[in-house]
Amino acid sequence: MPNSEQVSLNPQSWQGLRVLVTGGHGFVGRQVTKLLESLPLSELRVPRSQEADLRDQAVCAEVTKGVDVVIHLAANVGGIGYNLEYPGSLFYDNLLMGVHIMEEARKSGVSKFVGLGTICAYPKYTPVPFKEVDLWNGYPEETNAPYGLAKKMLLVQAQAYRRQYDFNAIYLLPVNMYGPGDNFDPASSHVIPALIRKFVEAKQLQEPEVVVWGTGTPTREFLYVEDAARGILLAAERYNGSEPVNLGSSFEISIKDLAETIKAAVGYTGHIVFDESKPDGQPRRKLDVTRAKQEFDFESSVPFAEGLQRTVDWYLAQPRT
């Protein structure tokens, strides 16, 4: 269950540091950057992807110069449909960004590297709840394997660099994240923003039904984006181990129940139809979050119903084109 007394960051640990956040203008990155702006850093670098293509090693060399801490959040990422359409791009982009930014961080003398992985790195049939020790016990779910494996290479690289260069790189495995500011583009969004948009538009157009991909039986765990940002920075502040660490909420819900919950939050009164010809993705996703609690005292604090309502309210407040 969420913890109402969340653990806070220690400003003294960040005093005078020069921090680079890749992907700092993205969904999670904006929340991480917001927290960092409240800390006594000497410099915060948040390059935009249009100005700094991290697939280019020379660009990575430039952005990591004179930096103490790198928090690598940049990613090419999307939902099931996006993964099915662009598997090559997802593999190439995420692999190159990770390889180049960590190598150049090492060469630049960065003292701490925080790499963000993905729950998609886990095997398709991982025992539930997912424990970090099971990360290599099988192949990922096929629809997102190229993305998951590319991000998993960050862990391999981090552990190899720690052994050879004594490079302090850590690797975090966040569960599906959601919240205000998420990506609501139907071509690339994840399940929560995709469903919110579907139900809102169906209500506005008075459509009799909303079609949801798959059977509705798979389950997912979700972590509110502000909790995720705090967890990432607590790990950056307190964790220096070689083993991967899950970041989650310990809350699991089926896609069917999720759709019903979003339907109610939006106030849609039509029917839900499940298109079973579409892929379900991984059967279950729920993380064991014991290690995060033990290593850097992280627990989620925002209950799912509250976080979901905030997300719906945020989306409804956005101007429509």
Please indicate, yes or no, if residue 128 is contained in any of the structural domains: yes
Expressed as residue numbers, the domain containing 124 is: 12-180+221-250+284-302
Start-to-end CA span in the chain (Å): 39
Please indicate, yes or no, if residue 56 is contained in any of the structural domains: yes
3-state helix, strand, coil in the chain (%, to 5): 45, 15, 40
Residue 1 has pLDDT above 50, yes or no: no
Work out whether strand 219-224 and strand 252-254 pair parallel, antiparallel, or are unpaired. Answer: antiparallel
How high is the pLDDT of residue 320? 72
Q: Angle 102-287-20 (CA atoms, 0-180°, nearest 5)?
A: 25
Paired tokens of 133: 């020790």
Confidence of residue 2 (pLDDT cuts 50, 70, 90): very low
Residue 244 near residue 155 (C-beta atoms within 8 A): yes
**What DSSP element (H or E) covers 60?**
helix 57-63
Residue 185 one-letter amino acid: D
Please indicate, yes or no, if residue 101 is contained in any of the structural domains: yes
35-82: per-residue pLDDT in tens? 999 999 999 999 998 999 999 999 999 999 999 999 999 999 888 888
Choosing from 92, 122, 139, 147, the catalytic residue is 147
Residue 3 has pLDDT above 60, yes or no: no
Residue 39 is part of a domain; what is its CATH number? 3.40.50.720
> CA–CA separation, 184 vs 180, rounded Å?
10
Please indicate, yes or no, if residue 98 is contained in any of the structural domains: yes
> CA–CA separation, 81 vs 75, rounded Å?
17
Please indicate, yes or no, if residue 171 is contained in any of the structural domains: yes
Q: State how many domains the chain has.
A: 1
Please indicate, yes or no, if residue 43 is contained in any of the structural domains: yes
Give phi and psi for 260, each to the nearest 5. Answer: -65, -40
* Residue 171 falls in the annotated catalytic set: no
Please indicate, yes or no, if residue 84 is contained in any of the structural domains: yes
Please indicate, yes or no, if residue 199 is contained in any of the structural domains: no
